């Protein structure tokens, strides 16, 4: 299918309730969930009723949105003329303390996404949810799901047990690289640690605002540990965590790389050039200046037309009406952000629809 419209790199399908995943759980885990009374896995990253979690005009009678492919198509695809949208499911499988239960829910979510969403609308693509509790199990899940080329990325959360650059994670990056899948790091946390380096905040607003600094520390970890040198074909996408912090962050990181690079001799290139080559950021929530005239100055500081990817962050409330593209953005840059940059970032988006499913790609599933 030729791509003609925007590619939305961050939309969120809502798991209507835990029972919706029952058919996708193995017998043991389904029985576990029922017998032990496991409640919904909505995390404190996105409280169900918060004004940010679901934009008011997108809410249904139950206060939810994006509970079906049809609703999502009507609210998030049609109005923007979107060609493709990438589903990032934020149901909290990663936060369960049991590694086995985490893996069971990751499998259930991915299979639910394939059946209930990808099968029902050919414009939809998705990120693979992995059990962040255990890298070995995460690799298994990537290998199991990756043959379905409608899955275009591996998704992690900004807050894990260990910084994402550490070598415990590297087998996961090797698997992603092998399958041609970027690794997307999305705002949110498993809450093994407080979101901030100074302890737990009081307000939800703080948690959400702190997602940007939190994702910055993950980028520092990945650069410093040498993830990009070790995995030359890996792309990392930072999702739903702002974009205008990038220049000042890189100035500081590069300065300390100059001063302390003897500590990390494997990082041979300046961090700013590593990030410009290998890291991408989704657009919403856009955190630009209120003065539209200053927006392009910030874009100059970012210093690359290739780095931003269009996203609406549907159904989260980041803008009103159809104003997904921030005022003040140069139209030429906006066009690149909408389609060209996403197509370059996600190789699987360039494949045509009829080669998408495992049967056609000829890859064997690990399942």
Partner 1 sequence: MNVDVLNRSGMQPAAASKVGIADCDVHPRPTGAGIGGVSKSLYPYLSKRWQEHVEAYGVLYRQPWEKGSAYVKGQPQACRRDAWPPGGMPGSDLAFMQAQHLDPNNVVLGILNPLTSGQGAQNPELSAAITHATNEWQVAEWTSRDTRLRASVVVPYEDAVASVKEIELRAGDPNFAQVLLLSRTAEPLGQRRYWPIYEAAAAAGLPVGVHAFGYGGWPITGSGWASYYLEEMVGHAQAQQALLISMIFEGVFERLPSLKVVMIEAGLAWGASLAWRMDRQWAKLRAETPHLKLKPSEYLRRNVWFTTQPIEEPEPREHLAEAIEWLGWDRVLFATDYPHWDYDDPAQALPIQMTEAQRRAVFLENARAVYRVG
Task: Name residues contacting partner 1, limited to 254-293 (CB under 8 A).
Answer: 254-257, 259-260, 262-264, 270, 273, 285-290
- Our CB check for partner 1 shows the closer of 118 and 164 to be 164
Q: Which is nearest to 5 in space by CA: 348, 340, 315, 286? A: 340
CB of 87 to partner 1, least distance (A): 23
User: 287 and 299 in contact (C-beta within 8 Å)?
Assistant: no
Q: How far is CA 105 from the centre of its chain?
A: 18
3-class SS letters over 194-213: CCECCECCCCHHHHHHCHHH
User: 129 and 89 in contact (C-beta within 8 Å)?
Assistant: yes
Q: Does 252 bind partner 1 (CB under 8 A)?
A: yes
Which residues between 295 and 314 bind partner 1 (CB under 8 A)?
Answer: 297, 300-301
CB of 97 to partner 1, least distance (A): 15
Candidates 3, 38, 44, 52; binder of partner 1 (CB under 8 A) is 52
Neighbour tally for 284: CB within 10 Å: 23
Annotate each residue in 97-136 with x if it binds partner 1 (CB under 8 A) or - if it does not, as one string.
Answer: ----------------------------------------
CB of 255 to partner 1, least distance (A): 5
For 258, residues 6+ apart whose C-beta sits below 8 A from its C-beta are none
Query: For partner 1, which stretch binds (CB under 8 A), given 13-21, 49-57, 83-91, 109-117?
Result: 49-57
Q: Does 315 bind partner 1 (CB under 8 A)?
A: no
User: 102 and 131 in contact (C-beta within 8 Å)?
Assistant: yes
Which residues between 160 and 219 bind partner 1 (CB under 8 A)?
Answer: 160-166, 189, 192-206, 208-210, 212-214, 216-218
- Our CB check for partner 1 shows the closer of 120 and 255 to be 255
Q: Which is nearest to 129 in space by CA: 99, 158, 157, 149? A: 157
CB of 90 to partner 1, least distance (A): 16
Q: Does 251 bind partner 1 (CB under 8 A)?
A: yes
# residues near partner 1 by CB under 8 A: 72
Length of the chain: 367
User: 167 and 222 in contact (C-beta within 8 Å)?
Assistant: no
Q: Which is nearest to 223 in space by CA: 186, 194, 250? A: 250
Q: Which is nearest to 127 in space by CA: 103, 105, 145, 104? A: 145
CB of 249 to partner 1, least distance (A): 7
CB of 243 to partner 1, least distance (A): 9
Q: Does 46 bind partner 1 (CB under 8 A)?
A: no
CB of 159 to partner 1, least distance (A): 5
């Amino acid at each position: 299918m030729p791509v003609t419209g925007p590619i939305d790199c961050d939309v969120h399908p809502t798991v209507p309730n835990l029972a919706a995943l029952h058919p996708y759980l193995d017998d043991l885990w389904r029985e576990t969930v029922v017998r032990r009374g496991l409640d919904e896995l909505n995390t404190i990253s996105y409280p169900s009723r918060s004004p940010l979690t679901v934009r008011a005009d997108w809410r249904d009678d139950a206060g939810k949105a994006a509970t079906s492919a049809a609703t999502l198509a009507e609210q998030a695809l049609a109005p923007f003329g979107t060609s493709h949208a990438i589903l990032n499911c934020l149901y909290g499988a990663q936060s369960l303390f049991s590694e086995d239960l985490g893996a069971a829910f990751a499998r259930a979510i991915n299979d639910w996404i394939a059946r209930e969403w990808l099968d029902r609308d050919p414009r939809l693509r998705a990120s693979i949810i992995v059990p962040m509790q255990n890298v070995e199990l995460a690799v298994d899940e990537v290998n199991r799901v990756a043959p379905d080329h409608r899955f275009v990325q591996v998704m992690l959360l900004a807050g894990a047990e260990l910084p994402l650059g550490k070598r415990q994670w590297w087998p996961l990056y090797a698997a992603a690289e092998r399958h041609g899948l970027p690794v997307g790091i999305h705002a949110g946390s498993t809450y093994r640690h407080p979101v901030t380096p100074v302890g737990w905040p009081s307000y939800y607003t703080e948690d959400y605002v702190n997602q940007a600094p939190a994702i910055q520390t993950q980028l520092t970890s990945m650069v410093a540990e040498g993830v990009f040198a070790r995995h030359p074909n890996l792309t990392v996408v930072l999702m739903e965590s702002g974009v205008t912090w990038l220049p000042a962050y890189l100035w500081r990181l590069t300065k300390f790389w100059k001063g302390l690079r003897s500590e990390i001799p494997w990082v041979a290139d300046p961090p700013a050039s590593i990030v410009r080559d290998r890291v991408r950021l989704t657009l919403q929530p856009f955190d630009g200046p209120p003065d539209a005239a200053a927006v392009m100055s910030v874009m100059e500081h970012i210093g690359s037309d290739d780095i931003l990817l269009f996203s609406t962050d549907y159904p989260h409330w980041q803008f009103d009406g159809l104003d997904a593209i921030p005022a003040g953005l140069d139209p030429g840059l906006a066009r690149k952000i909408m389609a060209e940059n996403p197509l370059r970032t996600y190789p699987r988006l360039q494949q045509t629809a009829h080669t998408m499913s495992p049967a056609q790609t000829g890859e064997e599933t690990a399942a």
